[in-house]
Amino acid sequence: MTTDFIASFEKRVSSLHEHNTADDFALREIVPLSYLIEKNSKWVLQIDLPGVERKNIVLTITHGHVVVKAKLEEAFKVSNHGQVIKFENMKKAVELPPYADIKKISAKFKNGILTITIPKIDSGKRIPIK
Amino acid sequence: MLNRNTVKNSKKIPREPSVLIVGIPGPGLIGTLSVSYLVHALDMEIVGEIENPDTTPVVFIDDGEIFGPIRIYKSGSLYAVLSDIPIDYDMAVSFIQSLIEFAQKNGVDMILLPNGIHAGEKDPNNIKTFGLSTDERLDVVMYDNEIPKFLTGMIAGPDATILTYLKNSQVPALILFTQCNFFFPDPESAMHTIKTISNIVKRDVDLTEFKKQVNYLRLQGRQLMEDTLNIMQQEKETKPPQIYK
């Protein structure tokens, strides 16, 4: 449902920040926001997936990337130059950070945010200390 | 002709305090989302714009009318300034100077600046808004509205410039920091901010429409959030000298 508030918000935000959604239109899939934070022993990657249910998220690791695909519960409609475009899926591929221990990657989904914990590899060739 | 009218026994009519609410993009888009909704819900009318010489010229067209990205709205004694573009270092000084000048010219008694503050794992049922005032007279407003004081922390970047100018201005200001997700649009926290502001300005705001659109706002706000984060990232990169990293 498009209300006055939503219509006005969409017009303002879309017209002034349209450059960021070019990929959405090219791929016909919403590219969700994500953020990667480095902690001492791990990386934490968060992906914003509003309007998605846990069962409709597919998370894979492939070719050095974390790939997330998700289906929206309700289609997201955007007006683009007089045309209404319907998006039903989200997809994002994020390059794995350095020293990622891909065997120990874990994920949880809460309040529409997917949090992927990527531990850093903590083993290697031992160097003797003299 | 001489004016023969005289006024007797005049009592000073108490006027409603004039408040200016400022919504600029920041953490969780709290300022933008909350003030956008207040402008809509309180049926505020556009009365002007703030033109900033230090930003790339940009306008948007709505129903054949041209609008700038920073607009001023009014409803009764309530003003709102809403920016659809993030305020970067280059813009911060002239923006806040224009804002204070506007507030002084229009007899504004209080500037309200809603903002967000990072909360790692926030509990959606227990979101807190903290207050930071530039004038001790506003401590009463915080007390009356059960807003705990923002006691310790650090604010950097253009927000720090804005706070410094507000601190040194004659117009009292109250900055509201609501716990939010720093990196993604956070309508839930914005809703909490709207409730706090509606209590302060004593105007009822029906949140039904906002509640229905939480997911939509998170998706629609992505572009603006990304631009805002890019500006914050630039600040971060220019901030701490190497030796302190």
The string of DSSP codes covering B137-166 is: GGHHHHHHTT--B--S----THHHHHHHHH
Residue A129 falls within a domain, yes or no?
no
Provide, as residue numbers in chain B, all residues whose Cβ is less than 8 Å from the Cβ of A75.
none
pLDDT digits (tens, 9 = 90+) for A95-124: 999 999 999 999 999 999 999 999 999 888
pLDDT of B12 strictly over 70: no
The pLDDT value recorded for residue A91 is 95
Nearest CA in chain A to B229: A35
Q: What count of CB pairs under 8 Å joins A to B?
A: 90
Residue of B nearest to A18 (CA): B223
CA B156 remoteness from chain centre: 17
Q: Which has the minimum average pLDDT: A26-35, A69-78, B15-24, B143-152?
A: A26-35
Smallest CA–CA distance from B214 into chain A, residue: A50
CA distance B10 to chain A (A): 44
- CA–CA gap between residue B35 and residue B80 (Å, rounded): 7
Q: In this structure, is residue A73 part of a structural domain?
A: yes
Q: Which residues of A touch B (CB under 8 A)?
A: 1, 3-6, 8-21, 30, 32-33, 35, 46, 48, 50-51, 74, 76, 78, 111-113
pLDDT digits (tens, 9 = 90+) for B171-208: 999 999 999 999 999 999 999 999 999 999 999 999 99
Q: In Å, how far from its chain's centre is CA B9?
A: 41
Q: Which amino acid is it at B125? A: N
Q: Please indicate whether, in this complex, the C-beta atoms of B221 and A13 are within 8 angstroms of each other.
A: yes
Residue A37: inside a domain: yes
Average pLDDT over every residue of B155-166: 88
Residue A123: per-residue pLDDT:
81
Cβ-defined contact of B218 to A35 (cutoff 8 Å): no
How many CB atoms are located within 10 Å of the residue A7 CB?
12
Task: Say whether B61 and A51 touch across the interface (CB within 8 A).
Answer: no
Q: Regarding beta strands B110-118 and B19-23, do their DSSP bridges make them parallel or antiparallel, or are they unpaired?
A: parallel
Q: Which domains does chain B have, with CATH numbers?
A: 19-239 (3.40.50.10900)
Residue A127 lies in a domain: no
Pairing of strands B60-62, A113-119: unpaired
Query: In angstroms, how far is CA A102 from the centroid of its own chain?
Result: 18
Q: Is A106 inside any structural domain?
A: yes
Question: Do B219 and A51 make contact, defined as CB atoms within 8 angstroms?
Answer: yes
Does residue B242 register a pLDDT over 50?
A: no
A20 CA: distance to closest CA in chain B (Å) = 5
Domain of A20? 4-119
Confidence of residue B51 (pLDDT cuts 50, 70, 90): confident
Query: b vs e for B95-114, b when ≥16 Cβ sit within 10 Å of the residue's Cβ?
Result: bbebbbebbeeeebbbbbbb
Q: Is residue A10 part of a domain?
A: yes
The whole-angstrom separation of Cα B225 and Cα B231 is 10
| Candidates B125, B215, B232, partner chain A, best to mutate (most A CBs within 10 A) | B215
Shortest distance, CA A15 to any CA of chain B (angstroms): 6
**Do A15 and B222 count as a contact with CB atoms less than 8 A apart?**
no
pLDDT digits (tens, 9 = 90+) for A79-95: 777 778 889 999 999 99
Task: Report the domain count for chain A.
Answer: 1
Say if A125 falls within a structural domain. no
Q: Which residues of B touch A46 (CB under 8 A)?
A: 183-184
* Chain A residue closest in CA terms to B71: A12
- Nearest-neighbour CA in chain B from A24: distance (Å): 11
**pLDDT at residue B101, rounded to an integer:** 95
pLDDT confidence of residue B240: 47
* Sequence-ordered list of residues with C-beta below 8 angstroms from that of B64, at least 6 positions apart, any chain: none
Residues A119, A42 contacting (CB under 8 angstroms): yes
Return residues 176-205 of B near A (CB < 8 Å). Answer: 181, 183-185
Q: Do A5 and B84 touch (CB under 8 A)?
A: no
CA distance A79 to A17: 14
Going from the C-alpha of B137 to that of each of A88, A125, B73, B108, B134, the distances in angstroms are: 51, 64, 26, 15, 9
- CATH number of the domain at A71, please: 2.60.40.790
Q: Classify residue A130: in a domain, yes or no.
A: no
pLDDT of amino acid B189 = 97
Letter string b/e over residues A37-69, b meaning 16 or more CB atoms within 10 A of that residue's CB: eeeeebbebbbbbbbbeeeebeeeeeeeebebe
